[in-house]
Structure 1
């Protein structure tokens, strides 16, 4: 089926370009992105010179607006601004970032000048129909959420509960069972947002910044519950991000849920120095370092030799982009394996090659860990010369 006969969506997880040659970030994938009707990314940072650090920010992810043009030139035409870094430079910087994207032809979702704007979808009209994209954050510092009279992001929160695994004995210090209770107001807003978008669009995508980035493969009950609630409300696709490591994929009521697309081109130059300066994520006194080591283990964020822009566990170099094609034959779902080298520019790799096999093997492990019945057919088709692994519901 040719591009003219189908509506094609590609989607990546976290993206933020902050490097000496920003136009090189997407050099290996931009042709595929430009071939799509909708190319989505979570914009994990702020492009602005109007900065006032949010008091609750951890380590701000901020770059000069000169780097922002790399997003639109890559072919990306929709971004989520709902994440834990979107208000790092204050609300004026958030709105400047939003304006920079929109002026360059990139639609935005998930943040705005008030709660109504933050909950409004990005809408893309294509030759084969209208696509609406909604975006929410479940992970963010206090105060980043939009309110009726204040800028910020669209929140999808939950309250965390801790209970003992064994109810018939005392066992002080044992790791607890963790469960969550959704914020009913946020869930009601989600259902209303999706229903309104459904009335305006032929296809509705819901994006969520969520999950536990300290461990591989794990999905919280908040993620699975929220993803399925979005589909029940009328969403056709669910896209998750924040984990920095790929997560599993499932089909619910025939709709694809990409629980974690990882990071794609996510530049964090000099992060270790910035962490030390802020005494953040375990940087500080000896007690904080010990607690951080116990909390993160080998997945502790920090400098990685040979990867100056990517301070994550080596598994974080395994990435890719989702591919969704809607045509006369229905939905075709796929994933394009990519790897991140020392230049932090994602490079597509066929699943039949050793590097591509590693990516798809990792996805299969993620699905098996959470018992998601999903099948992967390696190198099933191509787009713009890039080998795509087909993703289908399992038994």
Structure 2
């Protein structure tokens, strides 16, 4: 390919110097040849498949209610897992909180120590960029923790670090390009500051509009009931603390029918099953991933799966690999030799979606057995 490119460059250089020797018709022919060759080269540069990696909730640190919840200065939250994450063509995560140096707590709490509002310094955006995050959801119940200025600064910080984002009213979707492929991304949640997971008509509209403009559509949702008692996908509307957390099964299937290529869920703070529906991949919850403090990480809530999904250029599922990481309170994620996230998601997938026929191997790879 490099030899072809060199030949084209030499041709263009020669054409520029000697253009006066040719007739207008000959010059037009040469321009057509050059443009055709350029397009062919661009096509050659596009990969045959895409390796997308996705993780769940990310709250790298919080200085609210005080600095005691901050790690040692200069600590890279992803240091122990970035070797895996950097293998992704596209890397996704959910910003569970805000990235802001301004703003007052927007929640009404009589005791700030029991008020779960998350404010990561804007400087922490550098870790997201250096690890390779391409796109992130900001649709969740913590994006409004520090009011409108917190939302604005979170968006500004992600933009500064060249990370695409969506999920708030000011940006319900986004389009970005990488390696010759154009991606559309949208995100949804049941919460007041976010594009609503309940409004399927609006969600379908967003996906259908993206479909006309992009090659691959990625959808994220923050939904489902929380905690160790809610690991299963019920296929019904889920409620938690009296709040409608959405019917995530209906939501995912509806948006794939509308044109989405991959659905990435988070919100329950535990891992949930995988599904392949109409050749499209769904992760119903990727749990906690990098939540430094103020999160309950006991038992399965400390599992931190990394979903690696290979799709073709039509967005169809090819194969996957589940990398098992783990968290302990105030210890950033690290790879788990016991592969607890893999075992949990394998079990839940077999129980909740046996019709997907996903077959997991001990090393975490999985494929769809289409013979059954």
Q: 1:156 aligns with which of 193, 197, 211?
A: 197
Match of 1:334 in 2: 321
1:310-346 CA-partner distances (Å, limit 9, x unpaired): 4233112222111122348962233222222455322
The match for 2:86 among 34, 37, 42 is 34
Contact 2:296 2:329 in 1 (8 A): no
Match in the other structure for 1:8: 51
- Quick check: 1:319 aligned with 2:311? no
1:134 is displaced (CA, Å) by: 0.8
Larger-gyration structure (1/2): 2
TM-score normalised by length of structure 1: 0.69
CA 1:388 to 1:4, structure 2 compared with 1: closer, same or farther past 3 Å?
A: farther
**2:209 aligned counterpart, secondary structure:** helix
Which whole-Å CA distance do the structure 2 matches of 1:263 and 1:78 have between them?
A: 17
1:375 aligns with 2:358: yes
**For residue 187 of structure 1, what is the aligned residue in structure 2?**
200
Greater mean alpha carbon deviation, residues 51-60 or residues 24-33 = 51-60
SS at match of 1:86: coil
1:227 is aligned to 252
What does 1:340-379 align with in structure 2 at a 5 Å threshold?
A: 340-341=327-328, 344-349=331-336, 355-356=338-339, 358-373=340-355, 374-379=357-362
Q: Is the 8 A contact 1:248 1:259 kept in 2?
A: yes
What's the secondary structure of 2:156's corresponding residue?
A: helix
SS in 1 for 2:171: helix
Kept in 1: contact 2:106–2:146 (CA 8 A)? yes
Contact kept? 2:292, 2:332, Cα under 8 Å:
no
Partners of 1:365 and 1:318 in 2: how far apart? Answer: 14
Deviation at 1:200, TM superposition (A): 1.3
Task: Kindly indicate whether the alpha-carbon contact (under 8 Å) linking 2:297 and 2:327 is maintained by their aligned counterparts in 1.
Answer: no
2:244 corresponding residue in structure 1: none
Q: Which residue of 2 aligns with 1:20?
A: 72
Mapped to 1, the partners of 2:317 and 2:177 lie a distance apart of: 19
Q: Which residue is 1:81 aligned to? A: 138
1:50 & 1:66 partners in 2: Cα distance?
12
Work out the CA distance in 2 between the residues paired with 1:389 and 1:92.
Answer: 42
The count of corresponding residues between Structure 1 and Structure 2 is 297
CA shift in 2, pair 1:262/1:67, >3 Å: same
Distance across 2 between alignment mates of 1:88 and 1:362: 31
In the alignment, does 2:280 pair up with 1:245?
A: no
Give the structure 2 partner of residue 275 of structure 1: none
**TM-score where L is the length of structure 2:** 0.73
Decide which structure has greater helix share.
2
In 2: Cα distance, 1:190 partner to 1:330 partner: 22
* C-alpha contact 2:292 2:329 (8 A) present in aligned 1: no
Gaps of 5+ in 2: 1-45, 62-70, 110-114, 237-246
Larger CA deviation: 246-255 vs 18-27: 18-27
Query: Does the residue aligned with 2:86 lie in a helix, a strand or coil?
Result: helix
RMSD (Å) for aligned C-alpha atoms: 2.4
Distance in 2, Cα, partners of 1:226 & 1:85: 21
CA distance in 1, matches of 2:223, 2:122: 26
